Every structure is written in structure tokens, then in C-alpha cells.
């Protein structure tokens, strides 16, 4: 697959002023190339992000040496593995321990190219809330929050809630206790793991304060095992409380209209689709690649392009 990708992209690259990659495996559904192409086209740039569906790290390391390479979106399974091939990390990349964005800088002394890493997933989560909630103080500031899930996105969610969103506590809801322990241990080791609570049952949830923000970081599925069903019941309990906050449903493939999205809307919560996090993390990436502030980028056009793509996927 990677061989075919590089062959088809080589002729494309020749026509471009600059190029980057979406480096990962199982990326055929990704809207990242569309998002970035919308930005470049609206700015009149002959740039493109080229999908590189591959597990071959050596291939990517070779391709990034091209003088016209500007950087890459890095997705699974490479977000942690890429750390060994970077010269420096931003504070976000360092804190989360995973990188979704590679950008290039020249060393001011030697002039040599340096490969830098950051994590814009955390910015995407943060901005998804702040761009869609008009009164954060009333909705989620200084209240407990909930993170559903136990993977990399859950760690990014904890970081965003703890660093910027003024969460007083963070309740972790997941079917697997060992995954929750891993999240707590890793976040604690990285300096933002205080006040994380594993909430495994509804009876435990009933003794807790109402929450203001929920971030769901799990695939769209109907619970089948008893552990899955109890995790869903815990989430539903938080959604049914008197205070109605805002929920970010991170899952948007194959559709953002998930079971959790439906339950949340019916419960009266402000629903924020996962494409919002996608858009804002992508805009943040181009801030690094283009050297422009996000406010200088075609934000409205990006929203329209992603919305159109979503509407086409429903047909």
C-alpha cells in the first residue's frame, strides 16, 4: 500500500511548492487531507497533504528528508513511536507523551533542519468547547468533568480538562478497570493526574457532584457485556442530572450521530460533534506549518468543507 502511495504521490509532489503527509495505517476515512487542502486552496498555496497509509517508519523517515517537506499529521499506530525520531517537543507533546503533528524548524546556529513534535489533539478538544459554549463559567468551569474511555484520546481529554478547562475533578468511566488505572498512573507521572476518580458503578456515581463537561472517547457501539452496560448506565446517570452541561462526542466515523450523541441530546445536553475537535486541531497544525495565527486561516470555509463531506457520507 505504501509503495503504491509513494509512487502515485511522486508525480503530484513535483507540481507542488510544499508537501506534507498524513502518516498512519487505516487512514482511508480520514478528513485530514481535505481539511488542509481547503486551507491551502483558500490561501492560494500550491501545497498538499498526501496520505501515506503505512506502518513503515523507515519509509516515512526517508520521505521527510525532502527539502519541500513541511511536516506531517501523525496518527495511529505512530503517535508514540514517532517520539524516538524527533529533535524536540512542545510542552503539549511532552506532557501527553504522544505526538500527532510533526513540523520543521531550522537550527538558528547550525542551520540544520530539526524535526519537532507537538500534540494538537488537546487544542482540538479545548477549542471544541470554547468555540461552541457561550458561557463556560455557567456550563463547565469549576465543576467536575467526565471522560469516557481509556485510550490515547482519554489522556488528551484529561490534559485539556486539567490544563485549560478548570475541571475541579475528573471522573473516568470505562468498561476496563486496568485501562483506567493506566490512564491515572500515566497522567500522574506526567504531572496532571490529581483528582482523577475511577467511577465504575451507578451507586458510586450517585454519591458524586453533578458534572459540567463530558468527553466521550470510545467507538460507537451498543453495550453487550455487563461491564459495557454498567459504563453506559454510569454515563446516562451523569447526563440525567439537573445541571445540563456540554458533551463532546469524539467519535465521528462513520457518522457523528452516535448512540451517545443521541442519548445526550435527548437528556438536554449541549452536543458538540467530534468533527469540531478535528477542525480545531487541524487549524492548530497549520499554525505550525504556515507560521500564521489560527485567526488568519479560512475557518468558515473549513467548517463548510467538513460539513459537506459529512452530508455526502449520509447519502
Catalytic residues: 79
Q: Is 249 helix (H, G, I), strand (E, B) or coil?
A: strand
Residues contacting residue 59 through CB under 8 Å, at least 6 positions apart: 2, 6, 52
113 burial (CB, 10 Å; 0-12 / 13-18 / 19+) is middle
Contact 31, 5 (CB under 8 A): no
* Alpha-carbon separation of residue 81 from 124, 225, 302 (angstroms): 22, 32, 30
Q: How far apart are CA 189 and CA 49, in angstroms?
A: 35
Q: How far apart are CA 132 and CA 270, in angstroms?
A: 9
Question: In this structure, how many other beta carbons lie within 10 angstroms of the beta carbon of residue 34?
Answer: 15
- Per the DSSP assignment, residues forming a β-bridge with 71 are 20, 103
- Set of cell numbers at residue 199: 467511577
Amino acid at each position: 500500500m505504501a509503495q503504491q502511495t509513494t509512487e502515485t504521490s511522486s508525480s503530484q509532489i513535483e507540481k507542488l511548492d510544499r508537501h506534507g503527509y498524513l502518516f498512519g495505517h487505516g487512514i482511508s476515512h480520514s478528513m485530514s487531507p481535505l481539511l488542509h487542502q481547503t486551507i491551502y486552496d483558500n490561501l492560494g498555496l500550491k501545497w498538499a497533504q498526501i496520505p501515506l497509509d503505512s506502518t513503515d517508519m523507515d519509509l516515512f523517515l526517508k520521505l521527510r528528508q525532502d527539502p519541500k517537506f513541511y511536516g506531517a499529521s501523525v496518527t495511529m499506530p505512530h503517535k508514540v513511536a514517532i517520539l524516538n525520531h524527533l529533535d524536540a517537543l512542545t510542552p503539549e507533546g511532552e506532557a501527553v507523551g504522544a505526538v500527532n503533528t510533526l513540523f520543521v524548524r531550522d537550527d538558528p546556529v547550525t542551520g540544520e533542519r530539526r524535526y519537532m513534535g507537538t500534540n494538537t489533539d488537546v487544542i482540538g478538544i479545548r477549542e471544541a468547547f470554547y468555540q461552541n459554549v457561550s458561557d463556560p463559567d455557567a456550563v463547565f468551569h469549576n465543576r467536575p468533568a467526565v471522560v469516557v474511555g481509556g485510550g490515547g484520546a482519554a489522556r488528551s481529554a484529561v490534559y485539556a480538562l486539567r490544563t485549560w478547562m478548570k475541571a475541579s475533578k475528573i471522573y473516568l468511566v470505562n468498561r476496563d478497570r486496568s485501562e483506567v488505572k493506566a490512564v491515572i498512573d500515566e497522567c500522574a507521572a506526567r504531572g496532571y493526574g490529581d483528582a482523577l476518580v475511577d467511577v465504575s458503578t451507578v451507586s458510586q456515581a450517585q454519591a458524586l457532584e453533578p458534572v459540567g463537561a463530558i468527553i466521550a472517547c470510545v467507538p460507537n457501539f451498543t453495550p453487550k457485556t455487563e461491564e459495557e452496560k454498567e459504563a453506559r448506565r454510569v454515563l446516562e446517570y451523569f447526563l440525567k442530572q439537573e445541571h445540563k452541561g456540554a458533551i463532546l462526542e469524539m467519535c465521528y466515523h462513520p457518522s457523528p450521530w452516535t448512540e451517545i450523541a443521541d442519548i445526550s441530546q435527548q437528556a438536554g445536553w449541549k452536543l458538540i460533534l467530534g468533527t469540531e475537535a478535528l477542525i480545531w486541531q487541524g487549524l492548530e497544525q497549520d499554525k505550525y506549518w504556515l507560521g500564521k495565527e489560527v485567526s488568519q486561516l479560512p475557518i468558515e470555509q473549513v467548517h463548510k468543507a467538513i460539513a459537506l463531506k459529512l452530508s455526502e457520507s449520509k447519502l
